Amino acid sequence: MKLNEYVKYDAIDIARLIAKKEVSPFEVLEAAIEKIEKLNPTLNAVICTHYDLAKKQIETSDKSAPLYGVVILLKDSLHEIENTCSTMGSRLLKNYISKETSTFVKRLLDAGCIVLGKTNVPEFALMGTTEPKLFGPTRNPFNSAYSPGGSSGGSAASVASGMVSVATGNDGGGSIRIPASMCGLFGFKPSRYFTPMGSEFFDAWMGLVVNHVLTKTVRDSAFFLDVEYGFDGPIYCQKPVESFFKELDKPLKPLKIALNTNSYLGNVDSQIIEVTYKVAKTLEDLGHTVEETQPQLDFARLYDTYIDAMFIETSFLLDYLENKLHRKITINDVEPSTYILAKIGDSLHSKLNVYIKHFWDQTAYLMRGFFEQYDIYMTPTLANPHIKLGSLLPSSFEELALKTISSVNLSSYIKPIIKKIAFKQLSVFPFTQLANQTGLPAMSIPAGISSQNIPLGVQFMSSYANDHILFKLAKQLEDTPVWFRQIKE
């Protein structure tokens, strides 16, 4: 398969070509490998490759499986394959080899997907930019001086550049939607408990995290959710429709859409606002009603509790890894910012996590009332897509200060300063966390490109288990000129 042909196909196209024997899975694999070897030295999206394993998978996979021969890359966070690397972007795990294959990945393999390797992530997927010290920064395929977002930044860059048609991601605060927006992709966060999380973390990060994929097309995302569907923990949610993919062909009734372009945390880039209104006009032309309003929520507490959850969960994660690795973790094992997050978490009151979850559940209840009035809540995906590499990272001076503070155990005193830094970072991504905190489905559609050549996304949320409505709305928009299309060669 020629490279110029390979990059124009989505996963469903590739699977159909293979099924019709118009192309062999080995030809697809070689095209993907050629693309990775050509582009990855610049983009740094892929941090380890499994080419031999991929060839073996082609030979041993069920050739009648619906996605047989579709090559994918896995985010190096929670998406494990037995006997392969699993670093989570941290020096602490740079030599760690997975002991089992996660349920999420098993379902993709059972569907016929062929895994080529792992994609880059910020350490422990904690940031909205992909710049771990272990592997270095991933670059945006549209402008190499800028970030592709995070934490699924390596996956987004690999799909946007044409290395693969699909790559996996997970979303705990926007980690699929943020990089999808910044790389011109479709990024979908399913409803909580719709996809498996694995035996180690059934309800990861207080229920914030959901697994899915980043794709070029809406139909790929819907098809993959059909493949992935079904939580593997103690909770099971009835699938709202027979097939998300088949729902795409069904008519969509006119929707009542609430539109908000204001951020509680500061200014929103004018180019993003312009693109969002352009999409809103298209929606009205399609017969939907758009009204400027927003849910009446305590956004200050929502952001504050989100940051507190990061402290608590990072603390838990390092404790968990100490038990798993049978040794004490020091500041030299992880990045200073990660270590200080954990130390602050150590100092917090034991009841705080219960308070946080209770507040988020209250907010979910308020959102249920909001969605009795409106079908969809529409916002920009980001407040500012122009994240130059290094701009969100601690400076050398700040890192030295963090190390010093940690060494003398002053973590609890530094909490207000760290929160101030965290709020500054969240001001770039102020719209995405709400869907995670409430467990609701959300998506980012590609809707334009900025003057700095960074794609711009528009976000949509809906009520719980209304994932199929979001997919249908996205498909409707995908068939209009407002949908941004550009394949990076």
pLDDT of residue 417: 78
pLDDT of residue 371: 98
pLDDT of residue 409: 63
pLDDT of residue 487: 54
pLDDT of residue 414: 78
pTM score over 0.75: yes
Angle at 175 between CA 169 and CA 180, to 5 degrees: 80
pLDDT of residue 104: 96
- The whole-angstrom separation of Cα 75 and Cα 179 is 13
pLDDT of residue 488: 46
Domains of the chain, start order: 3-253 (3.90.1300.10), 299-373+393-426 (no CATH)
pLDDT of residue 394: 78
Give the residue ranges of the chain where pLDDT is below 70. 3, 199, 397, 401, 403, 406-413, 487-489
